[in-house]
Amino acid sequence: MTSKLKYTDRNHLSHHFKATHHTSPVEWKISDNLIEYPEALRYMQERVENIFAKTAHEQVWLLEHPPLYTAGTSAQQKDLLTPHSLPVYEAGRGGEFTYHGPGQRVAYIMLDLKRRRQDIRAFISALEQWIIETLAQFNVKGERREDRVGVWVIRPDRPLTINGTPAEDKIAAIGIRMRKWVSFHGICINIDPDLSHYTGIVPCGIANHGVTSLLDLGLPVTMHDVDIAMKQTFEQIFGPTIAIS
């Protein structure tokens, strides 16, 4: 099968991930303060076990981290260009190095795929669709790429690449882990983070494309604006939510 066919297939996967039988709404939790990464990791690990044991509901947790780098299971040390500039944490998720920091909306997604669809490839595509539809609320066209996970935007304001193709930047990253078919880790969307911190790594192991944000695209939207859009588009794909404190 050619890469073109793979790309077409992926773009046309079903993004329906609502529960297949009655279940409680997904808890929608928002933290306003910066959350240290080890604290978030401990919380997710405990929550995943409780979801599997059916003693806790599924949950999406929206937050921001202080400036830091995380290393996924495929991270290569050579892609950490400035190892002493920011804290670095082993994440345990899929993927390579990425940056987290203020101005970036992180969404940790703890869902039981046994109640939905046990299809990891389609789940990742559904997460991409969630991001794409969220960006569309701000008239930003996000796109998938056949050889890269995440969401990308074309930059017609930039010079063409050396291959003569339009320049493009990554605006949202995805990195998940599954435990007993319960997901954790998740996605992050760049709203107005300090993009200079990305120079300390090769983001997601991809050196020949840039990184952008909504502010960099000329859209000074607030975190609250993005949260509203994310909740609306999440419910279209994954089903109802209920806000918790």
**Residue 93 known to bind ligand:** yes
**Residue 207 known to bind ligand:** no
**Residue 22 known to bind ligand:** no
**Residue 233 known to bind ligand:** no
For 31, the token pair is: 């933290």
**Residue 175 known to bind ligand:** yes
CA torsion sign for 218, 222, 223, 224 is negative
Q: How many alpha carbons fall within 13 Å on the CB side of residue 188?
A: 25
Q: Which residue has the tokens 């909306």?
A: 105
**Residue 95 known to bind ligand:** yes
Catalytic residue among 171, 204, 229, 230: 204
**Residue 124 known to bind ligand:** no
Phi and psi at 229, nearest 5°, equal -65, -40
d(CA 112, CA 23): 11
Angle at 113 between CA 149 and CA 119, to 5 degrees: 50
**Residue 100 known to bind ligand:** yes
Q: Which residue has the tokens 């200079």?
A: 196
Contact predicate 78/72, CB 8 Å = no
d(CA 131, CA 114): 23
**Residue 218 known to bind ligand:** no
Phi and psi at 42, nearest 5°, equal -60, -45
Residue 188 a catalytic site member: no
**Residue 97 known to bind ligand:** yes
Q: 8: exposed, middle or buried (C-beta count within 10 Å: 0-12, 13-18, 19+)?
A: exposed
97-100 β-sheet, strand order: 88-90, 68-71, 97-100
Q: Which residue has the tokens 């994954």?
A: 238
Return the active site residues: 204
Residue ranges of the binding site for substrate: 93-100, 173-175
User: Binding site, residues?
Assistant: 93-100, 173-175
